[in-house]
Structure 1
Amino acid sequence: MQDAHSHSAISQSPVWQALQEQAAQLKRRRLADLFAGDPQRASDFSLELPQFLLDFSKNHIDRSVFVNLLRLAEEAGLDQWRADLFAGEPINVTEGRPVLHPALRGGLAEDLEIGGVSVTGGVEAELQRLKELVVLLHNGALTGCSGKRITDVVNLGVGGSHLGPQTAIEALRAYRKGDVAVHFVSNVDGAQLTDVLVGLDAESTLFIVSSKTFTTSETMTNARSALKWLQRAAPDEAVEVLLQRHFVGVTASPEKAQQFGILPERTYRFWDWVGGRYSLWSVIGLPIAIACGFENFRALLDGAADMDHHFREAPFAQNAPVIMALLSVWYCTFMGYPAHAVLPYDQALHMLPAYLQQADMESNGKSTNRAGVEVDYATGPLIWGQTGINGQHAFYQYLHQSPEVVPADFIGSVTAGHDLEGHHEILLANMFAQSQALMNGVDAESVGRELAAKGLSQEEIKRLTPFKVHRGGKPSNTILLKELDPRSLGGLIALYEHKIFVQGVILQIYSFDQWGVELGKGLASKLEPKLAAADLADEDDSTAQLIEYYRRNKCGAVTPTELPEVEVAESAGEQA
């Protein structure tokens, strides 16, 4: 693996300096003029892979900039870092771990051993165990304490332990099985757990406790409350039996799951070389396999492995993750555009912006380079967005006419996920139109002609024109899937994973730790007992004031809502 301290600051390199100069020049050029001067631009700045078309032609780059961006990737040592990733080198340097989520989906070029154990063998063994559980669930053979079949599964997890699986299940709505319902609880705010449990039959409910460490405060608090809910439903059952029959553990710390009371055969393992936000490919994806069937979960993994192979083998100039990463660095670091919008034109992908927000911002929201020195440039962008049609009636006004420039990813599919006539054509027409409008805008002359055609006077035209001008020049990528299915979804998510990795390599930061997450969690654990009673002298004035206000008003507050009463069917064999 590369020595993290053997590099010079990339921001001092000639290619970096050249890109800074080009950024200043490109800001003065219109996107429409770039197309006018290059008849081959659309085809040359596009990449077609088996599952989708990536059109990056509506970006503020020319061929010279593209060449320099590719040189930047080479000078950053991307070839070696990519090789180190797939070879299992400890590229998560601050935690001394490899980063091997590609191994979870068969994405390595060859098997590795860690601690004398085959990585692929361990992954496949856990997947087979997971498959057996899923088959039992769908066959109705998995039962709770009373003998009733499990019909509802509640996943208790936060961060990567819920966001990845829930995003995938929502995206694969057309592939869901109907016999077992999957629910998610991520928030320690008891309102979410209470709402999810309303209407569920405790006798036929299974809880998945998903936590890498099995010490995550939010998740374990929800797990203990779920156990209390079960106890109220079955007061005569021993706690040990409830834990054994109604709980599954998914963790990198199986011994802690078993200390909690979950059976070893109901504990599913992943490893510390799997980052939480990259863990949906592991047994953390159990909810996906339950909701959509194991065969579709396997297809999801296969699609991600396809992208792993593409990322490993394709030259940089035809490498989709590399191209998208270079464009992100170009805009955030060189052009000075600090935000990036993710705009899916597919209702099934409505959670994708939130998923990518975590994946990107938790990875590259850093200000220290690999030498431990504060960077002198912007790193990862702020990621935000939502489904396109809803966004058009919310924040697209900002995208079009604000002085700020927000590069965007438009994501859609050729094939509709439904059979309603006419809907999909309207959806795609809007997606194509919005990227076109952001690129071209509308100048004053065009506005004047439009208003004149409507019969307005010259005085009215002059008054209204400034308000209707769109300056354009707003860049975007378009990812057009052939179809949103398990395989293409796997490829899409893996595309962004590798993009984020490449960004980090170029910016010389470590993308796989998240110390900023740990800081707040540590402070919260110290403050929690002070909400009841403790000396606040060592707290800052603002925090002390907030705690004192909480203490004063807690006594008069409305009694919190209890977990819902459990309706126990008269017949132990009756299905909910």
Structure 2
Amino acid sequence: MKPTASRLTALGNALSTKEGVPLPESKGLQFEFPGGCLDLTRHLINEEVFKTLLEHAVSRQLCESRDAMFAGERINASENRAVLHVALRGGVQHSIEVDGEDPAEYAAEQLDRMLAFADAVRNGKIQASNGVPFTDVINIGIGGSDLGPRMAVEALRSTTSGPKVHFVANVDGHDFELVTRELDPQTTLCLVASKTFTTLETMMNARTARAWIAEAVGEDHVGSHFAALSTNAGAVQAFGIDPERMFGFRDWVGGRFSMWSPIGLSLACAIGSEGFRELLAGAAAMDQHFAQAPVAQNAPMLMGLLGYWCRVHLGFAGHAVIPYDRRLGRLPAYLQQADMESNGKRVSASGEPLAGPTGALVFGEPGTDAQHAFFQWLHQGTDRALVDLIGVVHPDHDHDEHHRALLANLVAQAEALRHGRSPEAARAAAMEAGLQGDALELAAASMTFPGDRPVTVMLLDRLDAYCLGSLVALHEHRIFVEGILYGLNSFDQPGVELGKTLAKTILPQLSGSSSDMDDRLCWLLQQCQKGLTKT
């Protein structure tokens, strides 16, 4: 018998060129998971494809790879690190040892410290230097130190209380100015989120924030307005932050998987310790589902297998994430980093070039806004993408008519993307509109939708901390599964480093302190310098 990958390629070649692919049997493709339910019946698969995918999971040792992660093995081979963000939320159900300590015990200690600090900020026990409670909290970070907490704060905004939480990430000075222009530095707490306390963008923003605070409260009181999410005690103290206000995490926590760690302090300030523990509980429930459910009934496993199938064997480069809930508006950006930084690789986990496609291009916007933006491309473009439609069953408002219309649009788009509109149906619609002759033929051609777009429909019970935790953990595990199937390491990010290194080289040149450059680069830098010249 041919290897499963070869069989999948042959099946993919047959289905990707076929029009009107029949729907698969719904048995086993519609089921509940912690906090919601999943409908995979609109994928381009049949019984043979599904069976072969499950066999491929065995041949690629998906379950063994999953178990190795939960056991604390150093599956991040390029950095010789364990991958244990699951330990941050109680997802590890047995005692393990990494670098001489139990990760779950260490994580619990840091969690208790962080949440005690967050609650003290919220209830006014920790105050600004002028003796009044903090009114605002600014998280200063970038990438994984920003996208996860920012997404979660926005998603849970209707349940937040206490100081208002803001985010500064971009090194663009407008970001800092727009966030702080209406804030009072005398009642603002800044959280500097940088594991090494050396990240260029974060530290530049932190220094700007420090100067802003110092001008208002005086140099002697700056430390009262800062906390650090870092492991570099020396640099934190040199900045003027008391080490007691430093909250750390181990190197088995990757940045894009760190929302559950002290990187989530801004979120804890927004929703409190009880809400944050509910978030962790939802994630832990998904961890146990991922660890224990059979592959054929395992949401992250199946979504990973189908994502891999769409990318590698059907050749679809795009993955659209469309949350039909405005509060999840930052979810596509969060998943864009989590997915593309994890699986946008060209070499295998052992360093050899990979022959086939790897991670998809992730993009998205909330529905129904997205329907009036790029859904034209999704429906009738010459390329195809996997589409995730995410809804929430129980809203946090009383506008039933709005919610009914929102969910109707979600279901309608799921049906339209998968089934399309046949030439006969398009022609009938054009005739009903009163068109004749050439106008009729043109309209019929334009109104034909090919369909056969693979769709995942996910419904959360409600958008609370528990369900959000489950949703995010599901995608973390789905991304890991896809990485194993691609044959790569999902937990390093060497491609991020080159640009950082070059920026450090360009910065002094942009300041005019170096002439060692070619004419092409010299011209570009001269154009940039026009905005830096003070007149």
TM-score interval, smaller chain: over 0.9
Aligned letter for 2:8?
L
> In 1, are the aligned partners of 2:508 and 2:514 still within 8 Å (CA)?
no
Once the two structures are superposed, residues 350-402 of structure 1 have per-residue CA deviations (whole angstroms, 9 ceiling, x without a partner) of 00000000000000110001232111100000000110111111111111111
Question: Offset at 1:115?
Answer: 3.1
Matched residues in 2 for 1:97 and 1:412: separation? 36
Please say if 1:242 is aligned against 2:231: no
SS at 1:344 equivalent: strand
SS in 2 for 1:388: coil
Q: How does 1:61-76 map to 2 (within 5 A)?
A: 61-76=45-60
C-alpha distance in structure 2 between counterparts of 1:114 and 1:54, whole Å: 35
> Corresponding residue for 1:300?
279
Where does 1:44-123 land on structure 2 (aligned, <5 Å)?
44-123=28-107
| Match in the other structure for 1:224 | 207
1:195 matched to which residue of 2?
A: 178
Q: Which runs of 4+ in 1 moved over 6 A?
A: none
Counterparts of 1:236-275 in structure 2, within 5 Å, are: 237=218, 239-243=219-223, 245-275=224-254
Counterpart Cα distance in 1 of 2:13 and 2:89 = 42
Check conservation: 2:34, 2:470, Cα contact below 8 A.
no
Of residues 480, 487, 508 in structure 2, which corresponds to 1:501?
A: 480
Alpha carbons 2:303, 2:478 under 8 Å: kept? yes
Aligned to 2:197: 214
Q: How far, CA to CA, are the matches of 2:52 and 2:26 in structure 1?
A: 19
CA contact 2:138–2:165 (8 Å) conserved in 1 = yes
Instruction: Within 5 Å, give how 1:52-451 maps onto structure 2.
Output: 52-177=36-161, 179-234=162-217, 237=218, 239-243=219-223, 245-451=224-430
Alpha-carbon distance in structure 1 between the residues aligned to 2:526 and 2:437: 64
Deviations 1:11-65 (A, max 9, x none): x97111111110111124445x523xx6xx2243222224211111100011111
The alignment status of 1:21 with 2:1, answered yes or no, reads no
Partners of 1:252 and 1:272 within 8 A in 2: no
Give the secondary-structure state (helix, strand or coil) at the position aligned to 1:69: helix
**TM-superposed deviation, 1:124:** 1.2
Q: Deviations over 1:294-339 (max 9, x none)?
A: 1111100010001110111111111111111111111111111111
Query: What CA distance in whole angstroms lies between the structure 2 residues aligned with 1:115 and 1:334?
Result: 40
Report the CA distance shift for 1:180/1:88 in structure 2 as closer, same or farther (over 3 A). Answer: same
Consecutive unaligned residues of structure 2, counting only runs of 5 or more, are none
Matched residues in 2 for 1:140 and 1:556: separation? 44
Distance (whole Å) between structure 2 residues aligned to residue 542 and residue 418 of structure 1? 57
- C-alpha deviation, 1:436, in angstroms: 0.4
- 2:382 match: secondary structure: coil
Match of 1:562 in 2: none
CA contact (8 A) 1:92 1:99 kept: yes
Alpha carbons 1:202, 1:233 under 8 Å: kept? yes
- Structure 1 residue 170: Cα displacement: 0.8
CA contact (8 A) 1:212 1:251 kept: yes
Shift of 1:507: 1.2
Mapped to 1, the partners of 2:19 and 2:32 lie a distance apart of 26
Distance 1:60 1:254 in 2: 52
The 10-residue stretch of structure 1 (135-144 or 150-159) with the greater mean CA deviation from structure 2: 135-144
> 1:203, CA displacement in angstroms?
1.3
CA–CA distance in 2 between the matches of 1:133 and 1:529? 40
Cα distance change on mapping 1:505 and 1:540 into 2, 3 Å: farther
Amino acid at match of 1:20: T
Q: CA RMSD in A?
A: 1.7
Q: CA deviation at 1:148?
A: 2.2
1:459 deviation in Å? Answer: 4.6
Tell me the distance in 2 between the aligned counterparts of 1:155 and 1:101: 21
CA distance in 1, matches of 2:238, 2:534: 38
Could you tell me how far apart the structure 2 residues matched to 1:43 and 1:168 are?
Answer: 33
Question: Match of 1:551, as an amino acid?
Answer: Q
Counterpart of 1:220, as a letter, is M
The residue identity in structure 2 corresponding to 1:123 is A
CA contact (8 A) 2:322 2:332 kept: yes
Aligned counterpart, 1:545: 523
Give the distance between the partners of 2:123 and 2:442, measured in 1 at CA: 70
TM-score (normalizing by structure 2): 0.97
Q: CA offset at residue 252 of structure 1?
A: 2.9
TM-score by length of 1: 0.90
Q: Report the Cα offset of residue 540 of structure 1.
A: 4.6
Q: Which amino acid aligns with 2:490?
A: S
Name the SS of the counterpart of 1:509 in structure 2. Answer: coil
The Cα offsets for residues 406-451 of structure 1, whole Å up to 9 and x where unpaired, read as: 1100000111122223100000000000110011111121122222
Q: Does 1:34 align with 2:18?
A: no
Distance 2:350 2:126 in 1: 52
The answer to whether the 8 Å contact 2:19/2:450 transfers is: no
Counterpart CA distance in 1 for 2:183 and 2:157 is: 21
Structure 1 stretches lacking a partner, 5+ long = 1-11, 558-576
Partner secondary structure for residue 153 of structure 1: strand
Cα distance in 2 for partners of 1:308, 1:317 equals 16
Q: Kindly provide the amino acid, as one letter, of the partner of residue 546 in structure 1.
A: L
Are the aligned partners of 1:148 and 1:203 in contact in 2 as well (CA < 8 Å)? no
Distance 1:72 1:254, change over 3 A: farther
**Contact preservation (8 Å) 1:153, 1:205:** yes
Which amino acid counterpart does residue 54 of structure 2 have in structure 1? Answer: L
